[in-house]
């Protein structure tokens, strides 16, 4: 606001950067101008202010309550004049404002006490009366001219209020319908029928209704999470179209089930989300500061260093878990949030704390919040600014709780004083299949009455066409290839660190691995201890080579195949929230899990080689060790492939067992390759166990000479290889084949994870 009497209102409107709703909100925070200015009316008083639609706006009045600084107070609390002015506080009455719930930021204006005709000057400490007095505009402008330094304070307030208005969004929908197809030749099932409404900044709105009323469908349609069906009507944000990429950055969605990483602490979880989702130009200190703010905002300070936990490992409580889930969405500072039954499964105390935290966040951050609630208690229902009551897909009422009771009382449904208001509203608007025709007709009359007498007055059709699609702050620019690579590496590092935490805290699996490693080493080492060169050592050597390969393959396969089915739902949700890509999560898990398995493979391979007494030769040991590692890598990749395909852990284990059985049968130990039917012989060429067993056998038996005391014995290793038909594939070719199988299974595993964990594509448009 400049000292040449140019109005802040005029300047904001001239910029054309705020919506009509935000413009009206800002006008209510400034003092009235003379009626000669365009857009004002003098029908009531010489200095009355009106909005663009001609409705009178509230006048400024002075009161005595103390106030906090701009933007720091809770909603509805008046703001203070800067201390440098030495002025008594002032506030504007907003009792008649349609946005009274979001009027937390008021312009800094001088008190009328300082401009009285008694000659008091700016900065006077003359006390003001408890009785509100209307500020006289000419006196206000005169005092502004006489205090140039005050203009700077007002400009600061103006910029904050302008940002306050621009950062908020109003969600508007008119005549929205939603239908699901039933099949060919059948009429679609209409879920929602011509619903209209809006959700303003700072409001917390509850969607109520009985089972099948369309509560969750309405929430998902407005949130853009519908993946099938037909949407009709018009949905806008500040009279602007929604654009897919910017909309995902503007909103947060909290699902009913708290599917979050259970092995991390609350602070680790929020730090992970901040590291993956916040802009890369933010410093680590800024991200940690934001995490601290969200933890405090969601009242999680007492449990920030406690693991989330599950049914086995005890962690935080149900209410804390829900608030941690909400905190994950708040990390990115969304302007609009949707909640699907956030109080389900919580006791009354935790349910109240969750809703209270949501309400406080909406008011302090000027956020638009909507949620589906199921049979809320009276004290929780009273916390909502408005309720949207649905019945059979139609709108039965919208407004606050008191108006709802008054509305249905006038329709002939008196409110029993001892009844929960939520139950009262649901009883009126809910029917079931056993309800009488008269009851169903009554409910239809209720929705028709609201449609015919109320809805068009409260939510008239849009009078102007939507403007350009809403863009999130800053233009969306395509990053360079180098930036993409650096971002992928950074995310891969973050996710690898999380996976390593999982491994370290999964004590049961670690214990099983240790026991299994020790058991295999001692059992196999004892049974096949230090084989000599007699005739019985021939089948023993073949047996240890076969069973060692099969055991290593099974161990790597079974440990990995169970991971993805148990974590698929979490990966789908996190990918849907743009926390990472399929390649980032796949390769981070792949290499982190490989480290643990690799250590075990190395220990077992080295220990058994010398315990069994295989040929002590550096080159032969190198071939043996290298082929064993390749086999382990293939089992690792195949485990991820089968785990990505399998719908559950149980199915994945069955698929792994079948694969290992088939590969073991065609490995060349039980049936020689020449005796396999031609139409099944192709299996050996895609069989990692065949290549491993064949190369290990050639490596071990080549050069061996056995004790042959009589006729019919086997004199050397070459005879063994010829008799068992194990010379058909050279070792070099077998190594190349194993490398090829590893790459193929790794690529197929990635493609399977990418396809099976792809989040549903959001649907925003009609």
Per-residue model confidence (pLDDT) at position 51: 36
Q: Which helix (H) or strand (E) holds 423?
A: helix 421-429
Per-residue model confidence (pLDDT) at position 92: 36
Judge whether residue 26 has pLDDT over 80.
no
Q: Where are the beta strands (DSSP E) in 393-456?
A: 394-399
Q: pLDDT higher for 139 or 298?
A: 298
Contact status, residue 563 vs residue 643, Cβ threshold 8 Å: yes
Per-residue model confidence (pLDDT) at position 543: 86
- Parallel, antiparallel or unpaired: strands 230-237 and 171-180: antiparallel
Judge whether residue 119 has pLDDT over 80.
no
Distances in Å between the Cα of 555 and the Cα atoms of 139, 600, 707 are: 86, 10, 36
In 3-state terms, what secondary structure has residue 207? strand
Per-residue model confidence (pLDDT) at position 714: 79
- Parallel, antiparallel or unpaired: strands 204-208 and 251-254: unpaired
Q: Which residues pair with 172 in a beta bridge?
A: 198, 236
Name the range with the highest mean pLDDT among 24-33, 67-76, 754-763: 754-763
pLDDT band at 86 (very low <50, low <70, confident <90, very high): very low
Selection from 496, 676, 647, 631 nearest residue 566 by Cα: 647
Residue with tokens 């010829």: 722
DSSP 100-169: GGG---------GGGGSTT-PPTT------SS--BPPHHHHHHHHHT-HHHHHHHHHHHHHHHHHHHT--
Contact status, residue 67 vs residue 56, Cβ threshold 8 Å: no
Residues 304-308: contacts with CB under 8 Å, at least 24 apart = 304/265, 304/266, 304/267, 305/265, 305/266, 305/267, 306/265, 306/266, 307/262, 307/263, 307/264, 307/265, 307/505, 308/260, 308/261, 308/262, 308/263, 308/264, 308/265, 308/266, 308/269
Specify the CATH architecture of the domain 171-257+336-458: 3-Layer(aba) Sandwich (3.40)
Q: In the 8-state DSSP scheme, what is residue 50?
A: B
Give the mean model confidence (pLDDT) for residues 453-480: 53
Give the mean model confidence (pLDDT) for residues 696-703: 86
Judge whether residue 682 has pLDDT over 60.
yes
Q: Which residues contact 685 (CB under 8 A, 6 or more apart)?
A: 737
Selection from 217, 220, 171, 216 nearest residue 196 by Cα: 171
Judge whether residue 21 has pLDDT over 70.
no
Per-residue model confidence (pLDDT) at position 273: 92
Report residue 690 as tokens.
């065949």
Selection from 708, 658, 715, 666 nearest residue 687 by Cα: 666
Report residue 102 as tokens.
């979001």
Name the range with the highest mean pLDDT among 62-66, 464-468, 568-572: 568-572
Phi (first) and psi of residue 653, to 5 degrees: -65, -40
Judge whether residue 469 has pLDDT over 80.
no
Distances in Å between the Cα of 192 and the Cα atoms of 175, 196, 219, 227 are: 9, 11, 11, 15
Task: Give the separation between CA 665 and CA 659, rounded to whole angstroms.
Answer: 10
Give the mean model confidence (pLDDT) for residues 473-490: 67
Judge whether residue 204 has pLDDT over 60.
yes
Judge whether residue 189 has pLDDT over 80.
yes
Per-residue model confidence (pLDDT) at position 435: 52
Per-residue model confidence (pLDDT) at position 631: 93
Per-residue model confidence (pLDDT) at position 259: 86
Judge whether residue 36 has pLDDT over 70.
no
Mean pLDDT for the chain?
A: 75
Contact status, residue 600 vs residue 517, Cβ threshold 8 Å: yes
Per-residue model confidence (pLDDT) at position 93: 35
Distances in Å between the Cα of 203 and the Cα atoms of 229, 360, 364, 387 are: 29, 10, 11, 10
Q: pLDDT higher for 709 or 135?
A: 709
Q: Which residues contact 443 (CB under 8 A, 6 or more apart)?
A: 391, 392, 396, 428, 429, 430, 431
Q: pLDDT higher for 533 or 33?
A: 533
pLDDT band at 114 (very low <50, low <70, confident <90, very high): very low
Per-residue model confidence (pLDDT) at position 727: 81
Selection from 635, 631, 610 nearest residue 546 by Cα: 631
Q: Which helix (H) or strand (E) holds 329?
A: helix 318-330
Contact status, residue 58 vs residue 107, Cβ threshold 8 Å: no
Per-residue model confidence (pLDDT) at position 673: 82
Please report which residue ranges of 167-261 form alpha helices under DSSP H. Answer: 215-223, 244-250
pLDDT band at 160 (very low <50, low <70, confident <90, very high): very low
Task: Give the separation between CA 374 and CA 387, rounded to whole angstroms.
Answer: 12
Selection from 367, 382, 378, 397 nearest residue 203 by Cα: 367
pLDDT band at 71 (very low <50, low <70, confident <90, very high): very low
Q: Which residues contact 312 (CB under 8 A, 6 or more apart)?
A: none
Q: pLDDT higher for 500 or 246?
A: 500
Give the mean model confidence (pLDDT) for residues 399-422: 85
Task: Give the separation between CA 470 and CA 463, rounded to whole angstroms.
Answer: 19
Task: Give the separation between CA 59 and CA 45, rounded to whole angstroms.
Answer: 10
Judge whether residue 115 has pLDDT over 70.
no
Task: Give the separation between CA 434 and CA 541, rounded to whole angstroms.
Answer: 75
Report residue 636 as tokens.
């690792």
Give the mean model confidence (pLDDT) for residues 298-306: 91
Measured in whole angstroms, the distance separating CA 429 from the mean position of its chain's CA atoms is: 33
Please report which residue ranges of 506-617 form alpha helices under DSSP H. Answer: 507-527, 537-561, 563-576, 582-612
Give the mean model confidence (pLDDT) for residues 326-346: 89
Judge whether residue 667 has pLDDT over 70.
yes
Judge whether residue 278 has pLDDT over 60.
yes
Task: Give the separation between CA 238 and CA 501, rounded to whole angstroms.
Answer: 44
Task: Give the separation between CA 99 and CA 494, rounded to whole angstroms.
Answer: 43
Q: Where are the beta strands (DSSP E) in 200-350?
A: 204-208, 230-237, 251-254, 336-340
Name the range with the highest mean pLDDT among 204-213, 265-274, 439-448: 265-274
Per-residue model confidence (pLDDT) at position 629: 92
All CATH 3.40.50.300 domain ranges in the chain, comma separated: 171-257+336-458
Per-residue model confidence (pLDDT) at position 372: 92
Lowest mean pLDDT among 17-31, 356-370, 689-703: 17-31
Residue with tokens 């989040």: 759
Burial code (b: 16+ CB inside 10 Å, e: under 16) for 39-65 equals ebeeeeeebbbbbeeeeebbbbebbee
Per-residue model confidence (pLDDT) at position 746: 94
pLDDT > 90 fraction of the chain, expressed in percent and rounded: 18
Contact status, residue 535 vs residue 708, Cβ threshold 8 Å: yes
Phi (first) and psi of residue 98, to 5 degrees: -70, -10
Judge whether residue 522 has pLDDT over 60.
yes
Interval 582-636: pLDDT, tens: 989 999 999 988 888 888 889 999 998 888 888 888 898 999 999 999 999 999 9
Task: Give the separation between CA 263 and CA 582, rounded to whole angstroms.
Answer: 21
Interval 424-451: pLDDT, tens: 888 887 755 445 555 555 666 666 656 5
Residue with tokens 């080159």: 619
Name the range with the highest mean pLDDT among 161-175, 248-262, 642-656, 692-706: 642-656
Report residue 593 as tokens.
């899990």
Task: Give the separation between CA 93 and CA 403, rounded to whole angstroms.
Answer: 22
Judge whether residue 121 has pLDDT over 80.
no
């Amino acid at each position: 606001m400049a000292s040449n009497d140019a109005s802040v209102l005029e300047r904001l409107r001239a910029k054309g950067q705020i919506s009509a709703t935000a413009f009206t909100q800002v006008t209510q925070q400034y003092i009235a101008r003379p009626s000669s200015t365009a857009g004002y009316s003098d029908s009531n008083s010489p200095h009355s202010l009106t909005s663009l639609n001609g409705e009178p706006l509230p006048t400024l009045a002075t009161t005595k309550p103390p106030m906090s600084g701009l933007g720091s107070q809770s909603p509805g609390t008046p703001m203070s004049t800067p201390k440098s002015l030495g002025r008594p506080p002032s506030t504007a009455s907003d009792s008649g404002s349609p946005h009274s719930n979001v009027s937390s930021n008021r312009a800094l204006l001088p008190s009328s006490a300082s401009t009285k005709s008694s000659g008091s000057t700016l900065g006077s400490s003359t006390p003001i009366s408890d009785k509100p007095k209307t500020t006289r505009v000419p006196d206000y402008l005169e005092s502004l001219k006489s205090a140039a330094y005050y203009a700077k304070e007002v400009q600061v307030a103006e910029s904050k209020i302008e940002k306050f208005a621009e950062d908020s969004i109003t969600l508007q929908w008119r005549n929205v319908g939603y239908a699901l197809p039933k099949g060919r030749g059948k009429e679609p099932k209409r879920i929602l029928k011509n619903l209209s409404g809006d959700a303003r900044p700072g409001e917390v709105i509850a969607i109520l209704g009985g089972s099948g009323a369309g509560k969750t469908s309405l929430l998902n349609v407005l949130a853009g999470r519908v993946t099938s069906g037909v949407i009709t009507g018009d949905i806008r944000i500040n009279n602007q179209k929604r654009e897919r990429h910017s909309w995902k950055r503007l909103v947060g969605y909290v699902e009913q089930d708290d599917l979050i990483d259970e092995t991390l602490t609350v602070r680790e979880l929020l730090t992970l989300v901040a590291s993956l989702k916040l802009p890369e130009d933010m410093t680590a200190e800024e991200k940690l500061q934001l995490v601290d703010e969200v933890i405090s905002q969601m009242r999680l300070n007492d449990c920030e260093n406690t693991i989330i936990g599950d049914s086995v490992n005890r962690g935080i409580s149900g209410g804390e878990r829900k608030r941690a889930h909400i905190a994950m969405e708040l990390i990115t500072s969304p302007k609009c949030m949707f909640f699907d039954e956030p109080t389900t499964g919580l006791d009354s105390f935790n349910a109240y704390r969750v809703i209270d935290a949501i309400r406080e966040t909406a008011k302090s951050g000027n956020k638009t919040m909507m949620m589906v609630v199921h049979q809320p208690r009276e004290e929780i229902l009273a916390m909502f600014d408005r309720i949207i009551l649905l019945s059979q897909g139609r709108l039965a009422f919208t407004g606050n709780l008191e108006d709802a009771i008054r509305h249905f009382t006038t329709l002939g449904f008196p409110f029993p004083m001892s009844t929960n208001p939520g139950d009262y509203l649901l009883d009126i608007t809910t029917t079931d299949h056993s309800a009488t025709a008269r009851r169903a007709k009554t409910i239809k009359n209720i929705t028709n009455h609201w449609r015919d007498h109320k809805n068009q007055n409260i939510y008239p059709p849009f009078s102007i066409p939507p403007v350009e699609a809403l863009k999130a702050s800053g233009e969306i620019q395509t990053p360079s290839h180098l930036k993409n690579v650096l971002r992928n590496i950074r995310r891969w590092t973050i996710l690898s660190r999380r996976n390593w935490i999982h491994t370290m805290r999964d004590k049961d699996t670690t214990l099983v691995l240790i026991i299994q490693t020790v058991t295999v080493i001692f059992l196999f080492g004892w049974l096949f201890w230090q084989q000599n060169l007699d005739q019985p050592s021939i089948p023993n050597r073949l047996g240890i080579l076969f069973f060692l390969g099969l055991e290593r393959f099974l161990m790597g396969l079974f440990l990995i195949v169970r991971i993805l089915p148990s974590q698929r739902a979490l990966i789908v949700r996190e990918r849907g929230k743009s926390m990472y890509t399929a390649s980032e999560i796949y390769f981070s898990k792949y290499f982190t899990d490989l480290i643990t398995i690799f250590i075990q493979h190395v220990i077992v391979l080295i220990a058994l080689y010398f315990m069994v007494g295989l040929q002590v030769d550096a080159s032969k040991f190198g071939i043996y060790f290298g082929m064993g590692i390749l086999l382990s890598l293939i089992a690792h990749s195949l485990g991820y492939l089968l785990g990505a395909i399998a719908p559950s852990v149980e199915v994945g284990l069955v698929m792994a067992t079948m694969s290992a059985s088939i590969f073991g049968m065609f490995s060349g130990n039980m049936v020689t390759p020449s005796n396999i039917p031609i139409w099944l012989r192709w299996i050996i060429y895609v069989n990692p166990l065949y290549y491993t067993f064949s190369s290990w056998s050639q490596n071990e038996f080549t050069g061996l000479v056995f004790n042959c005391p009589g006729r019919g014995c086997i004199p050397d290793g070459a005879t063994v290889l010829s008799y068992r038909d194990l010379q058909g594939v050279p070792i070099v070719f077998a190594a190349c084949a194993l490398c090829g199988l590893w790459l193929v299974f790794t690529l197929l595993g990635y493609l399977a994870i990418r396809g099976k964990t792809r989040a549903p594509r959001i649907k925003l448009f009609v």
